Structure 1
Amino acid sequence: MPVLSVQVAWLFLLAIPTACIAWTVTHEEVFREPREYCVQQSTNCKSIAARKFFYLFTCEYCFSHYVTIFMLILTGFKFLLPDWRGYLLAGFSVVWIANMYMSIYAIIKIDIKKERVALKKEEQAE
């Protein structure tokens, strides 16, 4: 097992692409049409399994679990323990850190939007 500082670095670094992918799919314009389809299906499908499946693509928290599973398979990262428990700890830890990153990004994005609106009002007032 790598030393703890290396594992923690992996944890925080692996959460970056996880957050980026989850946020992009669930919020950004490039995936708007598929997301709108998923939103519609998540409310209109007759089976609960289908509704839940489509909901996964509309919620950054839910989707980040699946992105994390993919990233752990891709990298083989285990956190603290060398067996299946290490994967379990890594999975929940990466999801948690990724969602913290997405929360920080959302706050920053809102602040930037507020500043742009304020600048636009100032320009129109002049």
Structure 2
Amino acid sequence: MEGWSFTGFINIKGVEVPVPEQSKRLNMKFRKNGGAELYYPYIENGVPKSYSYGTLYIGPGFEQLTILIYEIQEVSPNETRRSWNSETGFVLSAPAQNREEALQIKTDLMATPAGITLAALEASDE
């Protein structure tokens, strides 16, 4: 999937992305691990800002998907960041009838064809 891109809108029922309506169009580029960030840059009162919802992974033929939903973490009293944690993070996967199926889809989509996990790829990029 590396080198793939997606430009358009992704709407998730029950999720409101807190950016101006004209900034909800995504321009996603997929990395070598198969993931692409749901990243929304925008301008507010002349100041560049951004919002990140999570990381999207899509399976071959677009038959499966997983989104690792970012949580807000306080870095300091004046600074927060959004990230995902494998121990406590939320995952949206489809199609899944239950939690076990959702987690299996996540596991399958986050592994490369060689069986290297996302964590190993991220460590090798540093």
TM range, normalised to the smaller chain?
A: under 0.3
- Report the TM-score, using the length of structure 2 for normalisation: 0.25
- The structure whose RCO (Cα within 8 Å, separation 6+) is larger is 1
User: Which structure shows the bigger proportion of residues in strand conformation?
Assistant: 2
- Report the TM-score, using the length of structure 1 for normalisation: 0.25
User: Which structure shows the bigger proportion of residues in helix conformation?
Assistant: 1
